[in-house]
Amino acid sequence: MPFEDKTLTCLGCGAEFVFSAEEQEFFASRSYSEPKRCPSCRAARRSERAAGGSSVRTRVMYPATCAACGKETQVPFEPKEGRPVFCRDCYMTRGSDDPRPEPQP
């Protein structure tokens, strides 16, 4: 079945673009469906995804007081009452094995 150039309308920008016979043959050989976006909109979406795009969530940080040194810090989880929270420095020197805070001087 010979392929012929088709004119399609881009879902992203509304512009018309040519879906060439060569592209159709390539898409068919890989069982791809027809493109819904023009080449420039497809490239923009690819670069958006590669750069993180809108799918990346901003991490919520919660204020806390370090149980070992008393320094104000921020942690990526909501601290629970009765559970010690450590600043980065204290956590790195203590390790994660011992959850009990060292007494403050």
- Tens digits of per-residue pLDDT, 63-95? 999 999 999 999 989 999 899 999 999 988 876
What's the confidence (pLDDT) of residue 48?
A: 81
The model's pLDDT over 4-62, given as tens digits with 9 standing for 90+, comes to 999 999 998 999 999 999 999 999 999 999 999 999 999 998 888 877 655 556 788 99
**pTM of the prediction?**
0.46
SS (H, E, C) 16-66: EEEECHHHHHHHHHCCCCCCCCCHHHHHHHHHHHHCCHHHCCCCCCEEEEC
Within 13 Å of residue 1, how many CA atoms lie on the same side as its CB? 4
Question: Count H helices, E strands: the chain?
Answer: 3, 4
Interior angle at CA 17, CA 12 and CA 21, nearest 5: 130
Q: Of 90, 92, 85, whose CA–CA distance to 62 is shortest?
A: 85
